[in-house]
């Protein structure tokens, strides 16, 4: 028997404002007008749906896409995306290299073993050389070649031009979210110096790829030949203590759910698992159909804001798998079926993340598959 799909009006919904996505992409162009842009759409486009976001940004003429893993790149090729696709973690084995040749993917090479795979691959004779970026560790100490390894790899690349074509040097900024941290300037300077040194042998400077969102907004030296914005595309602030609105970024995702019950509780009544919240007086309490099973953070404490009918009220008691409870004293007329905003338009995801001790990145990417995504191309853009 084939199960029929039921649209549940009461299921949590993430409204995805595609006009805001286009607006934010244009903000990238505004801040880095001379850079080419790899739009970072890993982790299901930070929870916004890989294929949909790719289609919108391809139409907006992004120069390429960046994903973490090969399977994400293949999803894009299968969806008909023809732009360059940069695989940030690169190849893990010979099979990955073959797939990269077949689908004309661009690989990061962050360790010499990855270039060994390319050098020993049996695939290349049928295909164009693989585009590769050498990733250099300039201070993040996660992925990347040591500076001293770069000349040898450049030499190997030069000897195997039939197999691989060098795009340039790439690095990732560790602390760019803090505009006062001196590491960012050092990282940019170190990669630039490497490119200048390489230029002496190659007779041309190597293109650089540095800026993430924070780098693009706050660090001119990170606005290199290519940049890699992620969170700012989705309207999230990449900067500590600075809001997205300050940078004219618009939230793309607004997570909503419905009020499914309301009660008049008595002073002293305990609410939810563990009875952590006791009503300080007789009060109306609402139940909203969203919980940690939908990706709403389990650790959101009493006091975390939500919007009901565009007004702020507070979450009370423990978050359950499918429900949260909210204090309706400020909204005594709220009724079953009313829409509740958990984050997005009117309630920045950063603010919720602050209550939870998490980040906008984590909240957006942890949305569960049972949350319905609803796309709206035409919605007015507001903060």
Ligand X SMILES: Cc1ncc(COP(=O)(O)O)c(C=O)c1O
CA distance 373 to 383: 19
Place of tokens 């041309």: 204
Segment 61 to 120, residues that bind ligand X, using CB under 6 A: 88
- The correct pick among 229, 272, 286, 297 for binding ligand X (CB under 6 A) is 229
3-state secondary structure of 125: helix
**Does the annotation flag 218 for ligand binding?**
no
CB contact at 8 A, 255 and 367: yes
Kindly write down the DSSP assignment for every residue of 196-225, as one continuous string: HHHHHHHSSPPPEE---HHHHHH-GGG--S
Q: Is 212 in the site for ligand X (CB under 6 A)?
A: yes
Q: Is 144 in the site for ligand X (CB under 6 A)?
A: no
CA distance 73 to 40: 11
Q: Which is nearer to ligand X, 105 or 290 (CB)?
A: 105
Segment 164 to 193, residues that bind ligand X, using CB under 6 A: 172
Q: Is 231 in the site for ligand X (CB under 6 A)?
A: yes
Q: Is 48 in the site for ligand X (CB under 6 A)?
A: no
At residue 24, φ and ψ (nearest 5 deg) are -65, -40
The two tokens of residue 280 are 């300080």
User: What is the number of alpha carbons within 13 Å of residue 4 lying toward its C-beta?
Assistant: 3
Q: Is 35 in the site for ligand X (CB under 6 A)?
A: no
Identify whether 292 is a catalytic site residue: no
The two tokens of residue 279 are 């009503």
**Does the annotation flag 142 for ligand binding?**
yes
Q: How far is the CB of 240 from ligand X (least distance, A)?
A: 12
Which listed residue (10, 61, 273, 335) is catalytic?
273
CB contact at 8 A, 285 and 279: yes
Q: Which is nearer to ligand X, 174 or 373 (CB)?
A: 174
Q: How far is the CB of 232 from ligand X (least distance, A)?
A: 6
Identify whether 101 is a catalytic site residue: no
CA distance 55 to 88: 20
Q: Which is nearer to ligand X, 326 or 364 (CB)?
A: 364
Specify the stretch interacting with ligand X by CB under 6 A; choose among 6-14, 224-232, 275-283, 291-299: 224-232
* Binding stretches for ligand X (CB under 6 A): 40, 88, 172, 212-214, 228-232, 238
**Residues with catalytic function:** 42, 273
């Amino acid at each position: 028997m084939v199960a029929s799909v039921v649209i549940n009006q009461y299921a949590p919904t993430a409204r995805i404002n595609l006009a805001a996505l286009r607006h934010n992409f244009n903000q990238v162009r505004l801040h880095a007008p001379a850079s080419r842009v790899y739009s970072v759409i890993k982790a299901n486009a930070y929870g916004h749906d890989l294929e949909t976001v790719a289609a919108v940004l391809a139409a907006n003429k992004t120069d390429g896409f960046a994903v973490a893993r090969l399977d994400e790149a293949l999803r894009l090729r299968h969806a008909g995306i023809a732009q360059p696709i940069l695989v940030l973690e690169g190849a893990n084995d010979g099979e990955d290299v073959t797939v990269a040749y077949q689908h004309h993917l661009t690989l990061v090479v962050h360790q010499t073993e990855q270039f060994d795979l390319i050098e020993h691959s049996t695939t290349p004779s049928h295909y164009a050389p693989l585009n590769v970026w050498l990733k250099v560790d300039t201070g993040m100490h996660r992925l990347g070649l040591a500076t001293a390894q770069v000349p040898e790899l450049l030499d190997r690349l030069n000897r195997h031009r039939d197999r691989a074509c060098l795009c340039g040097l790439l690095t990732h900024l560790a602390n760019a979210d803090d505009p006062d941290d001196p590491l960012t300037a050092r990282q940019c300077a170190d990669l630039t110096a490497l490119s200048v040194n390489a230029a002496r042998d190659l007779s041309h400077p190597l293109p650089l790829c540095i800026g993430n969102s924070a780098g693009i907004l706050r660090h001119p030296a990170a606005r290199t030949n290519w940049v890699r914005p992620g969170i700012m595309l989705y309207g999230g602030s990449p900067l500590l203590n600075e809001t997205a609105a300050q940078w004219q970024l618009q939230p793309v995702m607004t997570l909503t759910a419905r009020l499914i019950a309301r009660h008049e509780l008595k002073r002293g009544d305990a609410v939810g698992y563990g009875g952590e919240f006791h009503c300080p007086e007789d009060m109306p309490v609402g139940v909203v159909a969203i919980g940690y099973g939908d990706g709403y953070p389990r650790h959101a404490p009493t006091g975390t804001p939500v919007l009901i009918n565009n007004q702020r009220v507070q979450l009370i008691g423990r978050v359950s798998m499918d429900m949260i409870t909210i204090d309706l004293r400020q909204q005594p007329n709220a009724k079953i079926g009313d829409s509740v905003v958990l984050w997005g338009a009117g309630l920045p995801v950063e603010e919720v993340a602050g209550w939870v001790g998490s980040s906008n990145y984590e909240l957006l990417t942890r949305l569960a598959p049972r949350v319905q995504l609803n796309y709206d191309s035409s919605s007015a853009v507001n903060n």
